[in-house]
């Protein structure tokens, strides 16, 4: 935990430095042409290099999986023997926000033991907020115990977060918009799009939002590096994780999530989303 916290804060400081250095008129050092709306910055790469190299040095027997190195290898999460302790790292989650200096992005470092997220560290440099969770032990925000919101179990009391990812296809846009409309029609207290799956899940774990969903179509689908730290923290603070599309238990291979502070809200949210999308013609 100590190593992960130190690395997360170091990466967060690098994010702030990069943003302070940038001329707001010119934008960050994007590989624009190559990635279009799915950008990758020099800070992403430098942060991931720092985290991977340090973890491998300190824990030579552990495996380390990072978003950017996997993106370079085609975007697939490599298979790792579950008996090997495995760090799963997203050096900047919410890279689109980071690119425009929108202060909604975080560093995420998780550790899997026996294939299950056991430790999660998420650092939000813009608010100097550190979310730490140890499964079956507890979750903490800047050292203070935190708990998910178990009370707002109905949509008309619930602050619901979501993301749109990189999904821009006609069918995907229709599905995302149908869910947006269904939640407004259900008189949902609040609907917000944060642009960082990890930050949204950290806020649900801290009880600042009631629920979060994502993964309704092909390109708003998070990967293991979006889930690992947030799942360990959420498990320790009372978050219920369901898949958005079916009853298969949520795990790091899940393409979607309906996460909430209560099972009742997670199920109501999932039912609302499923009803909204099932009526759409393919």
Binding status of residue 197 toward its own copies by CB under 8 A: no
Q: Is 226 annotated as a binding residue?
A: yes
Q: Report the candidate in 216, 224, 206 with the shortest Cα–Cα distance to residue 257.
A: 216
Region from 43-51, 67-75, 109-117, 159-167 binding its own copies, contact rule CB under 8 A: 159-167
- What are the CA-CA distances from residue 92 to residues 14, 42, 97, 275 (Å)? 10, 11, 10, 34
Residue choice 33, 60, 83, 156 for contact with its own copies (CB under 8 A)? 156
Q: At its nearest, how many Å lie between its own copies and the CB of residue 16?
A: 11
**Are 92 and 98 in contact, with CB atoms under 8 Å apart?**
yes
Binding status of residue 211 toward its own copies by CB under 8 A: no
- What are the CA-CA distances from residue 228 to residues 159, 198, 201, 205 (Å)? 23, 9, 11, 13
Q: Which residues of 126-160 are buried (b: 16+ CB within 10 A; e: fewer)?
A: beebbbbbbbeeebbbeeeebebbbebbebeebbb
Binding status of residue 36 toward its own copies by CB under 8 A: yes
Binding status of residue 31 toward its own copies by CB under 8 A: no
Q: At its nearest, how many Å lie between its own copies and the CB of residue 221?
A: 15
What DSSP state is assigned to residue 256?
Answer: -
Rounded distance between C-alpha atoms, residue 182 and residue 71, angstroms: 34
Q: Is 17 annotated as a binding residue?
A: no
Binding status of residue 35 toward its own copies by CB under 8 A: no
Binding residues for Mg(2+): 67, 90, 92-93, 226
Binding residues: 67, 90, 92-93, 226
Would you tell me which residues interact with its own copies (CB under 8 A)?
Answer: 24-27, 36-37, 96-97, 100-104, 126-127, 146-147, 149-152, 156, 159, 164, 167-168, 170, 172-174, 176-178, 180-181, 184-185, 187-195, 203, 206-210
């Amino acid at each position: 935990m100590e190593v992960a916290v130190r690395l997360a804060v170091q990466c967060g400081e690098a994010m702030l430095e990069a943003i302070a250095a940038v001329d707001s008129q010119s934008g960050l050092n994007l590989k624009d042409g190559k990635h279009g709306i799915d950008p990758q910055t020099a800070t992403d790469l430098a942060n991931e290099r720092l985290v991977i190299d340090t973890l491998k040095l300190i824990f030579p027997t552990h495996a380390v999986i990072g978003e950017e190195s996997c993106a370079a290898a085609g975007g697939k999460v490599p298979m790792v023997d579950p008996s090997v302790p495995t760090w799963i790292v997203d050096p900047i989650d919410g890279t689109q926000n980071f690119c425009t200096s929108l202060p909604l992005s975080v560093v995420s470092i998780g550790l899997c033991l026996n294939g299950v997220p056991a430790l999660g560290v998420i650092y939000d440099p813009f608010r100097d907020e550190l979310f730490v969770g140890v499964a079956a032990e507890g979750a903490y925000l800047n050292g203070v115990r935190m708990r998910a919101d178990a009370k707002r179990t109905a949509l008309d009391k619930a602050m619901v977060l979501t993301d749109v990812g990189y999904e821009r296809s006609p069918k995907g846009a229709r599905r995302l918009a149908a869910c947006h409309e269904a939640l407004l029609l259900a008189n949902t207290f609040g609907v917000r799009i944060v642009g960082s799956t990890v930050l949204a899940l950290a806020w649900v774990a801290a009880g600042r939002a009631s629920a979060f969903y994502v993964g309704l179509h092909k390109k708003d689908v998070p990967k293991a590096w979006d889930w690992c730290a947030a799942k360990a923290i959420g498990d320790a603070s009372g978050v219920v994780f369901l898949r958005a599309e079916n009853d298969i238990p949520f795990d790091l291979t899940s393409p979607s999530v309906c996460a909430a502070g209560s099972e009742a809200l997670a199920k109501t949210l999932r039912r609302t989303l499923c009803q909204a999308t099932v009526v759409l013609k393919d």
